[in-house]
Amino acid sequence: MGPAASTKPTIADLDRPTRRVRVERCVCFDQPFEKLLKLAREEGLTLEQLSERTGCCTGCGMCKPYVRVVLTTGRTSIPLMNGRDLNAIAQQAEAQARADNPG
Ligand code: FES
């Protein structure tokens, strides 16, 4: 592979078919993203509160940018990506949520 593509990743990239491995759980604490999303939505938990509650993101930390994408986009099957791309997608989702719910 060459240098990273200059195009910015988008939320839609999460739904495109890909041959990449998909990340669907916090491996360290065996917490499926589906379960984490359900818990966060039902109880209105932030990422930090979800971490305190389940342990997710507090082991190796590799899942943290994925969990952020899960919470901001509602997707629970995320293609393997680097942290920069995951953060860009989460930022887009957060900006979209602010635009949809001003104030
Ligand atoms: S995979 Fe979630 S803390 Fe390691």
- CB 32 less than 6 A from any atom of ligand 1: no
Q: What is the mean pLDDT of each run of 10 residues along the chain (103 residues)?
A: 66 93 97 98 98 98 98 97 96 96 82
- Prediction pTM value: 0.91
What confidence score (pLDDT) does residue 5 get? Answer: 52
What confidence score (pLDDT) does residue 70 get? Answer: 98
Specify whether the CB–CB gap between 21 and 66 falls below 8 A.
no
Q: Tell how far the Cα of 57 is from the centroid of ligand 1, in angstroms.
A: 5
CA–CA distances in Å: residue 103 to residues 23, 44, 63, 96, 99: 33, 18, 30, 13, 9
